[in-house]
Structure 1
Amino acid sequence: MSTIVFNAEAAKSYDDGPRRLVPGYAFFQDLIAQVLASELKDDASILVMGAGGGAELMAIAAARESWRLTGVDPSADMLALAEGKLRAAGYAQRASLVTGYVADAPEGPFDAATSCLVAPFVPDDGGKLDYFHQLRRRMRPGAPLLVVEGFVADEPGGFDRYMKSYMMYARLNGVAQAMLDRAVSAQASLHYISLERQKQLFDEAGFSSAETFFQALHIYGWIARA
């Protein structure tokens, strides 16, 4: 797992960044909640990886008042931001927050799991496969895993095309040059893969019926079954 962890300064500005840098960010939060609401029972327990900031936790908690949520993130500062939002909305009593990585998540088994903008932090040197293995063994058979990430074509120039789209989207959303420079630098340090490789990882980790349910430019949403 990457050692990149969002500190207190980054946490304060996090709400603004993804909404202006990630195509479809607000929409896919709501879409995830709607997909889960169509599949899960009232007493479901849901694991949310990369929960810092609280976007997925808030959207999912709002969809069904009886769901129990477990959020995991390596940044205590980001989880503090999430906790503040949950408390303000009256959802905190249904949420458990864990500082750490996927190996630190409770064993479950969970009725569903989400992983949004997380996997690119993990190198594809066995780490990505282990990440999805760890998720799979914490889920009930047949439970849905919803993954939303950016994907890069596995061909010459694939990453350059990805970055061109990424930067243009940000500029048209009014992202200041200083913020964009930091974001571009961060993107270069991540570990993007192709859509084909993601499907292969799902298969190798023991998931089935993997298919996409969302796309906005280079951002795709997947649903796979444990």
Structure 2
Amino acid sequence: MAEGVQYFLDSFKDPAAVARYSEGPRRFVPGLDGLHRMTGLLLAERVPADAHILVLGAGGGSEMKAMADAYPGWRFTGVDPAGPMLDLAAEVMGADAGRADMVEGYIDDAPAGPFDGATCLLTLHFLQRDERVRTAAGIRARLKPGAPFVAAHGSFPQGADERDRWLDRYAAFAVASGGDPEQVAKGREAVATHVAMLSPEEDEAVLRAAGFTGVEAFYTAFTWRGWVGYA
């Protein structure tokens, strides 16, 4: 396992970190609720009313909860390597938890499907490029032909001067959203040290290399990008 993945996985298994996890994404990710809403809409363009959706990086459960609320006929298979985060997902889903099967592990541990659609939000940036391609290809292999896949994660220019500028903006947004400056600074340093960020152009190329077609960007928010593609 890559060192960066292990660093963050250890955090996602820490009870104290899990207990306060829901605070983080809303402070660091602009328009998170809108991202969840758009994700559901992009899937709904092509999936049936009783769709089965694969959710990779499902820990925390916020995207599954949003989709479950908006699409009462959908069911989910949520995959995440951190068991405590899957427990949190079930808690967040509440009465809808019975509509989700939780699988502790990585894409190789996910059922073969075929699924009607898939998502991977705020997750792929933890992986090195080759592993991103392999993981995205594993998602595609589990989808029905033409099924939609929505991915969104950290992605910004990686030139020597650009990277630091965008990391500063990443931190500034979190502080402006109510984050503790000291904790935000630690988060910025962790991302700078342990996360293998790619540029938006490289990230889009990853999805194409994994075999997805019709790849389109639909979300751009400071240091975050989102795409939809089709199996």
TM band (smaller chain)? over 0.9
Task: Read off the aligned partner of 2:151 and give its amino acid letter.
Answer: V
Q: 1:69-84, aligned counterparts within 5 Å?
A: 69-84=76-91
Deviation, structure 1 residue 76: 0.8
Superposed CA deviations along residues 109-144 of structure 1, whole A, max 9, x for unmatched, are: 1111001111111112x2111111111101111111
The CA distance in 1 between the partners of 2:155 and 2:120, in whole Å, is 14
Task: Read off the aligned partner of 1:169 and give its amino acid letter.
Answer: F
Q: 1:143 aligns with which of 143, 147, 150?
A: 147
Q: 1:165 aligns with which of 162, 169, 177?
A: 169
Deviation, structure 1 residue 35: 2.2
Q: 2:214 aligns with which of 200, 209, 224?
A: 209
The CA distance in 1 between the partners of 2:190 and 2:57, in whole Å, is 16
Q: 1:85 aligns with which of 89, 92, 103?
A: 92
Q: Secondary structure at the match of 2:112?
A: coil
Q: 1:134 aligns with which of 135, 138, 157?
A: 138
1:24 correspondence with 2:24 = no
1:58 correspondence with 2:65 = yes
Deviation, structure 1 residue 152: 2.1
The CA distance in 2 between the partners of 1:12 and 1:149, in whole Å, is 22
Q: 1:35 aligns with which of 21, 37, 42?
A: 42
**TM-score, normalised via structure 2 length:** 0.92
Superposed CA deviations along residues 68-127 of structure 1, whole A, max 9, x for unmatched, are: 1010111111111111122x2x21221101111111111111111001111111112x21
Q: Secondary structure at the match of 2:48?
A: coil
Q: Which stretch shows the higher mean deviation, 129-138 or 21-30? A: 21-30
Larger proportion of helix: 2
Deviation, structure 1 residue 181: 2.6
**Structure 2 portions without partners, runs of 5+:** none
Q: Secondary structure at the match of 2:128?
A: coil
Task: Read off the aligned partner of 1:39 and give its amino acid letter.
Answer: R
The CA distance in 1 between the partners of 2:19 and 2:64, in whole Å, is 17
Task: Read off the aligned partner of 2:222 and give its amino acid letter.
Answer: L
The CA distance in 1 between the partners of 2:174 and 2:181, in whole Å, is 9
Q: Secondary structure at the match of 1:212?
A: strand
CA RMSD of superposed structures (Å): 1.3
Q: Which stretch shows the higher mean deviation, 171-180 or 41-50? A: 171-180
Does the 8 Å contact 1:37/1:63 carry over to 2?
A: no
Q: What count of residue pairs does the alignment treat as equivalent?
A: 223
**Structure 1 portions without partners, runs of 5+:** none
The CA distance in 1 between the partners of 2:137 and 2:23, in whole Å, is 32
The CA distance in 1 between the partners of 2:204 and 2:219, in whole Å, is 15
Superposed CA deviations along residues 43-83 of structure 1, whole A, max 9, x for unmatched, are: 21100111111111101111211111010111111111111
The runs of at least 4 aligned residues of structure 1 exceeding 3 Å deviation read none
